[in-house]
DNA sequence: TGCCAGGCCCTCTTTAGGGCCTT
């Protein structure tokens, strides 16, 4: 393993809030090491409830597909092994973090991994982008895709490429030798007008 | 019955409101 590894993760869910009873229905995750994807994890999961027509149409995941999928708790055990002790990244991490924590709690696991957010980083690095949706940013940076959106592994892979691209872009723009997870994480909290100042001061 | 996410971030701001993101 190189000195920079992270797992980029994405969930498809029955809705927006685990506090309102929503569950995860698919997870996709990729391990990045030395600026490339070196491992992948994907699974549908049966949430034990029917999903809405909106979610079927939004994701392409149907109730029929989920009827034969493994229970959420079984997938979560495997997911916990995959993410291990790696740093975690997601696009709008607060969303994926709350679902991950809620599902891990159901199997009496507790997340110890740090989370970073590609949405917060992108809002600072690409301030001229039309907007900061994952799909828009992928097109804005000409990141290759197979045209699949709103499926967990496809979105995790696109987020990983976006994340690597953001690190490369601030490296070249500010002449940085090394961009750490912690720097990217902290960047997400820096006031937008102070991004240049922050990177010049903290980037080694 | 009717309610219903929540964190970030900007601004006509902080005794608030609303758009952006995620499904």
A140 touches strand B (CB under 7 A): no
* Pair of tokens at residue A121: 């980083």
Q: What is the pLDDT of residue A2?
A: 46
What is the distance in angstroms measured between the alpha-carbon CA of A98 and the sugar C1' of B1? 30
Q: Does residue A188 belong to any structural domain of this protein? A: yes
Q: What is the pLDDT of residue A203?
A: 73
Nucleotides on chain B within 7 angstroms of protein Cβ: 4-10, 20-23
Q: Does residue A1 belong to any structural domain of this protein? A: no
Q: Does residue A93 belong to any structural domain of this protein? A: yes
Per-residue HEC secondary structure of A122-145 comes to HHHHCCCCCCCCHHHHHHHCCCCC
The one-digit pLDDT tens for each residue of chain A (204 residues) are 445 899 999 999 999 999 999 999 999 999 999 899 999 999 999 999 999 999 999 999 999 999 999 999 999 999 999 999 999 999 999 999 999 999 999 999 999 999 999 999 999 999 999 999 999 999 999 999 999 999 999 999 999 999 999 999 999 999 999 899 999 999 999 999 999 999 998 876
Distance in angstroms between the alpha carbons of the first and the last residue of chain A: 22
We report the CATH number of the domain holding residue A148 as 3.30.420.10
* Pair of tokens at residue A56: 């079927």
Cβ–Cβ < 8 Å for A150, A143? no
A9 touches strand B (CB under 7 A): no
**Tally of domains in chain A:** 1
> What range defines the domain where residue A147 resides?
6-203
């Amino acid at each position: 393993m190189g000195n920079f590894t992270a797992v980029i993760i994405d969930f498809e869910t029955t809705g927006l809030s685990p506090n309102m009873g929503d569950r995860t229905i698919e997870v996709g995750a990729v391990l990045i090491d030395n600026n490339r994807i070196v491992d992948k994890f994907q699974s549908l999961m049966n949430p034990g409830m029917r999903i809405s027509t909106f979610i079927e149409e939004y994701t392409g995941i149907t109730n029929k597909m989920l009827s034969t999928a493994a229970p959420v708790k079984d997938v979560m055990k495997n997911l916990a092994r995959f993410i291990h002790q790696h740093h975690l990244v997601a696009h709008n991490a607060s969303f994926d973090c709350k679902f991950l924590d809620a599902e891990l709690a159901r199997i009496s696991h507790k997340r110890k991994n740090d989370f970073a957010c590609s949405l917060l980083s992108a809002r600072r690095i690409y301030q001229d982008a039309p907007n900061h949706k994952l799909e828009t940013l992928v097109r804005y940076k000409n990141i290759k895709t197979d045209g699949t959106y709103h499926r967990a592994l496809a979105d995790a892979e696109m987020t990983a490429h976006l994340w690597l691209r953001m690190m490369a872009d601030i490296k070249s723009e500010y002449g940085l030798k090394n961009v750490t997870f912690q720097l990217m994480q902290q960047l997400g909290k820096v006031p937008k007008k102070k991004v240049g100042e922050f990177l010049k001061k903290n980037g080694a």
